[in-house]
Amino acid sequence: MILVCFAFFKLGFLDSSTRTHLCLLASAFGSSKTQPIPDKNSYFDFLRQGETVSSRCDEVQGLIKRGCNMTFIENPLGQQDIVQNKSVTNRSKGLVALKPEEITQVQPQKVNLTLRSGEPQSFELKFKRAEDYPIDLYYLMDLSYSMKDDLENVKNLGTSLMEEMQKITSDFRIGFGSFVEKTVMPYISTTPAKLLNPCTGDQNCTSPFSYKNVLPLTSDGNMFNNLVGVQQISGNLDSPEGGFDAIMQVAVCGEQIGWRNVTRLLVFSTDAGFHFAGDGKLGGIVLPNDGKCHLENNVYTMSHYYDYPSIAHLVQKLSDNNIQTIFAVTGDFQPVYQVSSHQPLSVPFEEINLRFKLNETTNNHKLMLYILRRNMFSFICTSFSTVFLQPQVHFNISITSKGCPNNGKPEIIKVRPLGFTEEVEITLNFICECDCHHQRIENSPDCHFGNGTYECGACRCKDGRVGRKCECSSNDVATEDMDRTCRKDNGTDICSNNGECVCGTCECKTRENPEERYSGQFCECDNFNCDRSGNKLCGGHGKCVCRKCVCDPMWNGTACDCSLDQSTCLAKNKQICNGRGRCECGTCKCDDPKFQGSTCEMCPTCPGVCAEHKDCVECRAFGTGEKKETCQKECSYFTLFKVKSREKLPQPNDGAYPIGHCKERDANDCWMYYTYSVTNNTENVVYVLEEPDCPTGPDIIPIVAGVVAGIVLIGLALLLIWKLLMIIHDRREFAKFEKEKMNAKWDTGENPIYKSAVTTVVNPKYEGK
């Protein structure tokens, strides 16, 4: 927390280290001008009994709230001063040539900042790339055997690069170098024949080498074209190349390469990956790269002695020498070389980003530097055919001090764009003392007959003296007589274990949170151990005084969480809780548990509740019903939950509040099952069965089949019954006939009209034989 010191206070003991800390914990409020010292008697009562002098440190509003007048508050502020502010150079190509030191691209150049701990100081930095600014470009080419297919394209790229860069600036120099690999096994074959010609068959290749500075930086474009055009490939055994060795030598061998203090670009072209620190162990090379120049006759001679450099090592050397690296690689290896997102080693081939570097900083000062990044003024297209210049860009630089340096002396840091020599020099001055410190009164009579220095409203005692007014000798502090006066009710705890007994008076401990304080004659009181409500001390509606809440008006309770305002219990009919309850702490307590709501207006289990909410439940749950068009507007007063079965609906005994079960028909004549309840937080909750219970329609085919089958069965049954009855009837008639036949007595006389059907004829010749 950022605090402000209450100065000009007479009472209390405050040594120089404490004073420095208190003054640094200050906020940017009020005036930094030294105020005249007011009458000392007017502020004797600022500190409560037992409070330490450090309690005078607080936020401005906190001090004013505790009764401190603004004229008593010491509040120094940081400031800034632009010492050198030369405008950026505006010129066009073709005008009078200027030397690099005569061109200004960064504004301002020198700034003085006065920093107060925790208070940021910001200023705007402008950058504009001067047109026709000198450029040094070094072209580093991979000549390993894998580059055979791309060699002609790479040669043409170098030539095109030189031609396009000459269109950007008239002061342009270009150099050329090549690399292959370390000249030891297993990177190359060390047989004599392979050392002369590492290629197979009839191919004529140059001898392997680590790095050659073929052409130092020169403005002779013809020489560059000739040397690039005659390059021959070499060969190695493994796929990764030794390009990092070459980059390191290009970075550190400034004299041999010919770098000037201008824009420095390094274009690195390859079609393979790279070796880095640790890979040298495969060839028995264990010494780490020393980051120094080892060129003899423009050839790197220590590749067999030193390991490859690490990425971080390359980052450091490239940054120290203001070199921006552009990787021109094949698409397969583009992700491998996109290390700029993790390390500022390179700039993407199609875009150059403006980065800033903090040259000097000290960890014990804990300086924080915030720099906003933007795209650079220009970017180079893939073919280097066009370079777009943008207007000047602006950066907001904010610096915050986390503390005071031990010696309190000014510090200097420098900020510069990566790849440029121009920089902003920032001198940091630190506010480590209050202004009132300069008005101290040595041997002041206010410090017990001159036993201390009165400064910033407190006594700084001489050696051997203690107490707020230096009234005691340090030899007498721990006597039993003095300690007795620091024990409450003759107890054993000195100052309630919350302070120290100094000169027979309790001086209470300070806490990490400056708003929390011990107080009282025996440090028995504090302002942070009161009851809490809603995770707030005294509910946020009162003050904690000696471990008890002193509530604000209209609040009551041990934690000041009970509101005496009854307006929240007033129903629409202007009755308190609808006449069904009483207002307690701003909340209605319903007399009958079946009534709920903020004013006891709802009864979830009363008749008519289900029908009242039916339309809203239907439109919310199923999107049907009379209110489906106005559902969102009229039916958002409850929270809806869906369940899969009726067994999962809340039951009346499940909760601490009444639950009403409802069964209503919807627009599709289906049954809806749901529950309606009001929680203790007056939240309306509805649980509804996710699928309504709809009656199924008749199945025609089974019905028709059943009817037909029934008719057939009934017909068959009737036929069988009729047949059975006929059989029974016939048998009865036959039996009756038989009976009557047996009982009949027939007449044996002949019927007079009966004529026999038999005619007997006798043969006259028959003799009876």
Q: What is the CATH number of the domain that holds 658?
A: 4.10.1240.30
380 within domain boundaries = no
* Dist CA 375 CA 365 (whole Å): 31
**517-532 mean pLDDT:** 89
pLDDT of residue 486: 85
Spatial distance between the Cα atoms of 372 and 370, rounded to a whole number of angstroms: 7
**Which of 573, 606, 639 finishes a domain?**
606
Is 664 within a domain? yes
Q: Is the pTM of this model over 0.75?
A: no
* Residues 444 and 309 placed together within one structural domain of the fold: no
pLDDT over threshold 70, residue 695 = yes
Indicate whether 261 pLDDT > 70: yes
For the segment 59-76, the average pLDDT, to the nearest whole number, is 80
Q: Shortest CA distance to 661 belongs to which of 592, 613, 593, 597?
A: 613
Query: Given pLDDT bands bounded at 50, 70 and 90, which one contains residue 92?
Result: low
Same domain for 576 and 547: no
- pLDDT, tens digit (0-9, with 9 covering 90-100), for 424-472: 999 999 888 777 777 888 888 888 888 888 887 788 888 888 777 888 8
- Cα separations (Å) of 296 from 7, 174, 181, 254, 293? 69, 21, 17, 14, 9
Q: Read off the pLDDT band of 138 (50, 70, 90).
A: very high
pLDDT at 498 over 70: yes
594 pLDDT higher than 80: no
Asked if residue 39 has pLDDT above 90, the reply is no
Can you tell me the distance from the alpha carbon of 724 to that of 395, in angstroms, rounded to the nearest whole number? Answer: 116
Do the domain assignments include residue 497? yes
Residue of higher predicted confidence among 240 and 153: 240
Residue 183: pLDDT band (50, 70, 90) is confident
Residue 346 is predicted with a pLDDT of: 47
CB 153 within 8 A of CB 189: no
pLDDT > 60? residue 103: yes
Residues 338 and 322: their CA atoms lie apart, in Å, by: 19
Assess if residue 736 is contained within a domain: no
The CATH number of the domain where 240 resides is what? Answer: 3.40.50.410
CATH code at position 466: 2.10.25.10
Angle 77-79-80 (CA atoms, 0-180°, nearest 5)?
170
For the CA atoms of 303, 307, 309, 311, the dihedral, rounded to the nearest 10 degrees, stands at 140
Beta strands in 552-611 (DSSP E): 555-556, 562-563, 581-584, 587-590
Segment 512-539 mean pLDDT: 88
Q: Which domain holds residue 546?
A: 532-559
Rounded to whole angstroms, the Cα distance separating 205 from 146 reads 12
Chain mean pLDDT for the chain = 78
CA neighbor of 502 nearest in space, from 12, 7, 9, 5: 12
- pLDDT bucket at 333, cuts 50 / 70 / 90: confident
Comparing 386 with 376, which gets the higher pLDDT? 386
Confidence of residue 178 (pLDDT cuts 50, 70, 90): very high
Strands (E), 667-726: 671-678, 684-689
pLDDT at residue number 249: 95
445 and 578 in a single domain? The answer is no
Instruction: Please give the pLDDT value at position 514.
Output: 75
What share of the chain in percent tops pLDDT 70?
A: 79
pLDDT exceeds 50 at position 19? no
- Give the pLDDT score at 382: 31
Residue holding tokens 């409070």? Answer: 51
Average pLDDT over residues 147-171: 74
Residue 524 has pLDDT above 70, yes or no: yes
Work out the burial of residue 65: count CB atoms within 10 Å of its CB; fewer than 13 is exposed, 13-18 middle, 19 or more buried.
exposed
pLDDT at 54: 67
Directed axis angle between helix 311-320 and helix 243-252, to 10°? 30
Strands 424-430 and 472-473 come out as: unpaired
Residue 350 above 80 pLDDT?
Answer: no
Residue 764 lies in a domain: no
Domain boundary among 642, 671, 689: 689
**Is the Cβ–Cβ distance between 701 and 707 less than 8 Å?**
no
Q: Does residue 188 belong to any structural domain of this protein?
A: yes
CATH of the domain at 416: 2.60.40.1510
Q: Mean pLDDT lowest for which of 120-129, 372-381, 613-622, 718-727?
A: 372-381
pLDDT at 246 over 50: yes
Which pLDDT value is given to residue 187? 84
> How big is the CA angle at 29 (ends 365 and 371), to the nearest 5 degrees?
45
Average pLDDT over residues 55-78: 80
The pLDDT value given to residue 15: 35
Would 60 be classed as within a structural domain?
A: yes
pLDDT band at 254 (very low <50, low <70, confident <90, very high): very high
Q: Name the least confident of 246-255, 380-389, 504-513.
A: 380-389
pLDDT at 653: 67
- Element of type H or E holding 229: helix 221-229
| Position 376 pLDDT exceeds 50 | no
Least confident of 31-35, 241-245, 390-394, 398-402: 31-35
- CB distance 134 to 262 below 8 Å: yes
Split at pLDDT 50, 70, 90, the class of 296 is: very high
Burial (Cβ within 10 Å: 0-12, 13-18, ≥19) of residue 338: middle
Terminal-residue alpha carbon distance, the chain: 170
List C-alpha distances in Å: 509 to 27, 497, 499, 512. Answer: 24, 9, 5, 10
Same domain, 405 and 543: no
Spatial neighbors of 604 by CB under 8 A, at least 6 apart, are 594, 596, 658, 659, 660, 676, 677, 678
80-94, 351-365, 540-554: segment of lowest average pLDDT: 351-365
Which residue type is seen at 760?
Answer: T
- What pLDDT is recorded for position 300? 94
Please say if the pLDDT value at position 6 is more than 50: no
Same domain? 179 vs 290:
yes
Measured distance CA(672)–CA(668) in Å, rounded: 10
- Could you tell me if 181 and 287 lie in one domain? yes
| DSSP per position, 414-465 | EEEETT-S--EEEEEEE--S-GGGGG-BTT-TTTTTTSEEEETTEEEEPTTE
Least confident of 202-211, 339-348, 505-514, 559-568: 339-348
Q: In terms of domains, do 288 and 314 share one?
A: yes
Q: Taking a C-beta distance cutoff of 8 angstroms, is the pair 423, 404 a contact?
A: no
On whether both 190 and 315 belong to a single domain, the answer is yes
Residue 388 lies in a domain: no
pLDDT band at 373 (very low <50, low <70, confident <90, very high): very low
Same domain, 469 and 498: no
Q: What are phi and psi of 373, to 5 degrees?
A: -95, 145
Q: Over the range 483-499, which residues count as b (16 or more CB within 10 Å of their CB) and which as e?
A: eeebbeeeeeebbbebb
CA 550 to chain centre: 40
Task: Judge residue 364's burial from the number of C-beta atoms within 10 Å of its C-beta, 0-12 exposed, 13-18 middle, 19 or more buried.
Answer: exposed
Exposure string over 685-694, b if 16+ CB within 10 A, otherwise e:
bbbbbeebee
Judgement on whether residues 30 and 155 belong to the same structural domain of the protein: no
597 and 617 inside one domain: no
The tally of domains found in the chain comes to: 7
Sign of the torsion formed by the C-alpha atoms of 24, 29, 34 and 35: negative
Residues 196, 279, single domain; the answer is yes
User: Which domain-ending residue is among 668, 689, 710?
Assistant: 689
